[in-house]
Structure formats: C-alpha cells, structure tokens
Structure 1
Amino acid sequence: MNERLILKEIEKKSFQSIYLLHGEEPYFIDLISNALIDNVLKDDEKEFNQGILYGKSTDLNILVNELRSFPMGSEKRLVVLKEAQDFKNFEALCPYFENPNPTTIFVICYKYKKYDARKKSLKLVAKQGTVFLSEKIKEYQLNEWIQRYVTGRGFSLNSKATMLLNEFLGNDLGRIVNEVEKLGIIYPKGTALDEKHIEENIGISKDYNLFELTNAVAAQDIHKAFKIIHYFEMNPKAAHITTVVSSLFTFFSNILKIHFLKFTAREAIAKELRVHPFVAGELNKAKAKFSPKKIAFNMEVLQEYDLKSKGYGNTSSSQAELMKEMVFKLLNP
C-alpha cells in the first residue's frame, strides 16, 4: 500500500492496530505519522490517550505499559515511537505484536534505513497491521513528483521552474515541500508558478544555476559557462563542484545513449531515458555537437576532476579554478 492509500484510509478513520513506517525517506514517514496524530484523537482526548516516545530514551517496560493501557474518555489510545531506529528491543515486543491491544494504535517511525525483513517482529506486524517502506524518490521521478505535489497544492509549475527546484534542492522532499508551502503563503491558489517566482522567493537564480551551466556546456557557450562559474565562486552555496561533475556526467551519459537509439521522437527518448520530455528535446539537440568519441573523452575528464575535487592530484586549485579548467577541456578538442 502506498502513502496516498494509507492517508485516504486514515482520513476515513479506518485505522490499523500497528503501523511500521520504515525506510530511507523520512518525509513520507512524517507525513503518515502526523496524519495519524491529527486524526486518531480529538484535541481534548489527547492529554490522557496519546503517548509520544523516542527510541533512544524509551524503556521497554514503559513502552509496553503504554501499549497495554486502556483509553480514558475515548475509544482509542495512540502511541507513537519516534526515532524508532534507536530502539534496541524490537524482538522483545513480539508477544505484543502477536496479540496487540485492540484499543491502541501503535505507530513506529523507523527512519533513514530499512527494517530488517528477516526479523520475526516485522512479519508479525505485517499480519496484524501495516508495514510501509518509505523509499527515496528516484532521480528520474523527481520532476514528476514535484509537479504532482505543486498541482495538489492548487498551483501549476512550468518545466524550467520544476528543474530549478530539482537542481537546487535535490532529493530532499521535506525541503521541497517547505519551499512550496512558502509560495502558498505568498501567492493565491491557481497561480501559474514560473522560474521568476522561484528566483524571487526561494533564492535560486534563474540565470546562474546548475541547470543553466549544463545548458551553456550543451550550447558550447564557454563565455556563459565561465560567468556562471564566477557566480558560483561568489556564492559558494549555489553549487559545489561535486554536484556540477555529477550533473555534467549525467548529461553526457544521456547524450551518448541517444547517439545509439533507433528513434528520434522526443517522447520516446524521454521514456527511454526516464526524463522530462522537455529535457529529452534539449538533449537531442545537444547530440549533434558532441560525437561519441568526444563524449567518451569528456567522461574521462569528469572522472579526473571528480578526483581532483576530493584532493587527489590537486593541492592548491580552488573549486572555481577546477571548474573552469574542466569546462575548458569539455568544450575544446
């Protein structure tokens, strides 16, 4: 069951006895646990019927006592174990998982890693309640996720603005959501958000960013590339050389794949590369400017500067100097 189906069930007041929320992506774990905190009990029921515990400081006996207690003035009790990855006695909870208290809803927030699927405790929870694996959104799915989230908040977002958020905020869903919520305070629902809104309110330059640097390399515009690198030098938080290398490596890898595809339609390329159709179109245009031989050379250059950025073979050059050297090699024979 995905997070949207779980949230719908929660909104309908259809609760499970146990929720084990685990995985590398904390955003969905927080989303579901907060929904349960908001929906299981009314505000005036929470004082005596809600327990929020933390894995590192929770004693097994105290936790079991919370789980076995009966509600006061309410039909249900809610017990939430946050930072559950720090709780060391899960297997000792197996007797409870075999016979959970029907009046208690137990929420386990196990963040940043998967729960061991071999454990008896997980198998018991799966029989008695819901086990949800919160996985990181794949890079190729992130633009679509951003678009869907923004649309769900009552706005629209154009392709360039979507890619700016992706490049600047990366795969940090919590941060993306916070920034979109800020826009929701400033602009009325129905607003068509674009790169200008992003630049003015989130602090991402629409002209000097990783996306535009990649475009400059794709257009073989060394003057524009150097201007963007200078901006990075003056604003170190705008981009780190490791993210620049990674972005350009992905760019050249995708162009190399396009060289050997048997079709040229933008939508077909987008599907094959798992990118937005707009990006697929731009990559297809760039293909003509870089032969497979040149791309292979450029990928070696990127590997070289990835090592230099980590101190191998470089003792004195700054990030900006390394980026300029790298781009010069990428755009010259």
Structure 2
Amino acid sequence: MAETSSAPDKVLKDLKEGKYAPVYFLQGEEPYFIDLISSYIENNCLPESERGFNQTILYGKDTNVSTILQNARKYPMFSERQVVMVKEAQDVSDLTKDSTEKFLMAYLENPLPTTILVFCHKYKKLDARKKITKHLQKYSVFVESAKLYDNKLPEWINGYFREKNYRIDPKAVVLLAESIGTDLSRMANEIDKLLINVKDPAITITEDLIEKYVGVSKEYNVFELQKAIGVRDIIKANKIVNHFESNPKANPIVMVLSSLFTYYLKILAIHAATDKSEASLAKVVGVHPFFVKEYINASRINDINKCISCVRAIREADKMVKGYTVVNVTDGFILKELLFKLLH
C-alpha cells in the first residue's frame, strides 16, 4: 500500500524479484519510465503460454471505468494471476468523473488479488485535489514519471551505462546529452544500438565510438558551438553554424536555441555565485567537475551585461523561428544573425 509515489527504479526492482502489486498507476510527462514498467509487466508477469487467456490490453479511447473493472474482477484461467493493462489511460473519458470514481475507489480498497491492474497515464497528471487521486496514491503503486531536468541528464546517462556494465568517458556523456537531449526513449534506443556494436564491456565508450555508431559529430554539435561562442572563437563557431545550416534535420534550431539559452543561464549562475570554488560552481551549474573550467573561462570573457544581452538575443531568435516577428526567413539565416550578436 503506497501513501506517496514510488520511484520507477524501486518498482522495477520489485517486479524483477517477483513482488507484484494488485494495482499500478503510472503517470507523468515522461513516457520512458511508464513504458519501461508497463513493458516489463506485459512481457514478464505471465508465461507466454498463459497470456492468450489471461492478459487483456485496453486502450483509453475505446474503454471506460466499467469495462476496466469488469475485466479486473475476472478470475484467471489455468493461471495464478491475470494482467489487465490500460494503455493511454489519460484518454479514459470517465476516469475521474464523480459518477464513476466511487466504483474505482471501491475496487482499489478491495482489489482482486489474482489481478494485476495497470494504468498507463501518459503526458499529464491527475488533479491532486481529487478523491480518486488520493485513493490511487494510498491504495496502488503510484509512480510519478517526471521529465528529467537537463542538469540531471549526464547522471542518468552514466547510470544507464553502469547498469549495462559499461564505462563512458565524461566528454562522451556530454556529447550524448547535448546531441540527443532529454528524450529518454530516444536516448535509451541510441545507447542500446551503440552497445550492440561495441559488444565488449571492457571497452570505454568514447566520443569516437558515439560519432561512429550514433551518428553524432564530435566536432559539429551544440556543445562545441557553446564552447566556441563562450571563448569568442569566431572561425570555429561559424564553421559549426554552417554545418547546422546544411544539416537542419540533425540539428533542429529549436534544440540549438534551447541549449544556448541554458548555456548563458549557467554562466549567469557563475556570476551570481558567492562561493567561486570549482567544486561549488560545478554544483551550481549542474555540470561534471571535469567541464566547469570551460564555464568559468566563459564567465570571464562574457560579463553579466553581455550574458543578459545574449539571453535577449536568443529570445528574439526564438520569436523569429515561431514567426512572431518576421516571416520568410530560413533557420540558417536566423542562426547566423544570432551568432553575430552573441560573438560581438
């Protein structure tokens, strides 16, 4: 019985140890953890030979609370348990309606012990004030799958490789983080493809391996662009932007602007910090200590006023991309104009 939300890692650990709960409610803006837990239940809680009669998959748009509970109250056939999974549960029209929530609440208080009922409620959260939400938090394994913050992504990447018994170089971590971003499903897929090719856990994952197997350039990426702009390396910065212009699908301008915006906020955080030690600044900025010197150097070259001016320029570029201020200009033009403002 859970009174607060459970950590995805803890839930997966329990599942792998064969500790099953009668009801799981998986919700949040990050679909990766919801998919990870629900896929494990779908593929492991029952032997394949028993799934035909004892595993029911329902979809939110095509079902309602009454149908869900009817299936949950069935007894398994020739098996010790059954699985009832509600995918896209955010689309169940009467999930939180006053007229039906009392029936779901009653089931939560007294669930069938031979049923594993799973709700996959993606991209949004239930209203925390509603009775049904409080009941789910109390009587189910309630998982909050929150979006990962940018500064937590390197730690997540390191953990993913560690779980697979591989080591990864800090520069390679940053290359992955800056190139792929916080789409964890895509990140996991790219890492899995990489490891299929590398095969040997004794090999440390480097930038070269990522460039070779993930298709990310170690020279022409957002992280290298940030570094070049930070130290006013005009030639290198222009080379990278020209590469982005010729490869727009691999380097979408929205992602570039977001990364640059975050970069300048980190430099501003260094300016604002009272403790200027490298260890402290690494925590403030949210980067590996290995890289904090680059941000410190950039803060010496870009004073507070320059950083504020750059943030404004990035916001203006974002408006241009969205068509608020000008029309009929290419992303390449916007990026080059922005680069000039950042460098001068």
Q: Which band: TM-score by shorter chain?
A: over 0.9
**What is the deviation of 1:85?**
0.6
The 1:78–1:277 alpha-carbon spacing in structure 2 relative to 1, beyond 3 Å, is same
Residue 15 of structure 1: SS of its match in structure 2?
coil
Q: Structure 1: which amino acid aligns with 2:206?
A: D
Tell me which of 308, 319, 326 is aligned to 2:331.
319
Which residue of the other structure, out of 24, 33, 44, is the alignment partner of 2:29?
24
For 2:63, the aligned partner's letter is T
Work out whether residues 321 and 331 of structure 2, in 8 Å CA contact, stay in contact via their aligned partners in 1. Answer: yes
Q: Deviations over 1:109-151 (max 9, x none)?
A: 1111112222322323333321111111111101110111112
CA distance in 1, matches of 2:105, 2:237: 59
Matched, 1:95 2:100: no
Match of 2:188 among 158, 177, 194: 177
The letter of the residue matching 1:195 is E
**Bigger CA drift: 320-329 or 221-230?**
320-329
Rounded to whole Å, the distance in 1 between the matches of 2:232 and 2:106 is 65
Deviation at 1:59, TM superposition (A): 4.4
User: Which letter does structure 2 place at the counterpart of 1:323?
Assistant: L
Deviations 1:239-293 (A, max 9, x none): 2333323222222222222223233322210112222223322100112211223
SS at match of 1:100: coil
Between the aligned partners of 2:266 and 2:190, the Cα distance in structure 1 is: 29
Cα offset for 1:310? 2.3
1:28-107 map, 5 Å:
28-90=33-95, 91=101, 92-107=103-118
Question: Would the aligned equivalents of 2:180 and 2:187 in 1 still touch at CA under 8 Å?
Answer: yes
State the alpha-carbon separation in 2 of the partners of residues 10 and 135 from structure 1: 20
Residue 308 of structure 1, CA deviation: 2.3
Q: Secondary structure at 1:193's aligned position in 2?
A: coil
Offset of 1:12 from its aligned partner?
Answer: 1.7
State the one-letter code of the partner of 1:112: Y
Q: 2 CA distance for matches of 1:322 and 1:194? A: 33
Pair 1:152 & 2:157 matched: no
Query: Hey, what does 2:272 align to over in structure 1?
Result: 260
CA RMSD of aligned residues (A): 1.7
Structure 2 residue ranges without an equivalent (≥5): 1-5, 96-100
- 2:11 aligned residue: 6
Segment drifting more, 236-245 vs 198-207: 236-245
Deviation at 1:99, TM superposition (A): 2.2
CA distance in 2, matches of 1:312, 1:271: 36
1:318 maps to amino acid: T
Structure 1 counterpart of 2:216, one-letter code: I
Cα deviation, residue 64, structure 1: 2.4
Does structure 2 retain, via aligned residues, the 8 Å contact 1:199–1:206? Answer: yes
Aligned residue pair count: 332
Please tell me whether the aligned partners of residues 209 and 238 of structure 1 are also in contact (alpha carbons under 8 angstroms): no
In the alignment, structure 1 segments of 5+ residues that lack a partner are none
Q: Letter of the 2:14 partner, please give it.
A: E
**Take 2:65 and 2:308, find their aligned partners in 1: how far apart are those partners?**
57
Task: State the Cα distance separating 1:298 from its structure 2 match.
Answer: 2.3
Report how far residue 21 of structure 1 moved: 0.6
TM-score (normalizing by structure 2): 0.91
**Does residue 302 in structure 1 map to residue 317 in structure 2?**
no
Q: Which residue of 2 aligns with 1:212?
A: 224
- The alpha carbon displacement at 1:60 in A equals 4.1
Give runs of ≥4 in structure 1 deviating > 3 Å.
59-62
Q: CA deviation at 1:322?
A: 2.1
In 2, Cα distance between equivalents of 1:99 and 1:257: 51
Q: How do 1:98-117 and structure 2 match up within 5 A?
A: 98-117=109-128
Asked whether the 8 Å contact 1:25–1:134 carries over to 2, the reply is yes
Whole-angstrom CA distance in 2 between matches of 1:59 and 1:247: 42
Residue 80 of structure 1: CA displacement?
0.7
- Which one of 149, 157, 161 corresponds to residue 138 of structure 1? 149
Alignment check: 8 A CA contact 1:97 1:121 kept: no
Counterpart Cα distance in 2 of 1:297 and 1:64:
57
Q: Determine the structure 2 residue equivalent to 1:196.
A: 208
Q: Secondary structure at the match of 1:52?
A: strand
In structure 2, distance between residues paired with 1:68 and 1:33: 20
Matched, 1:120 2:131: yes
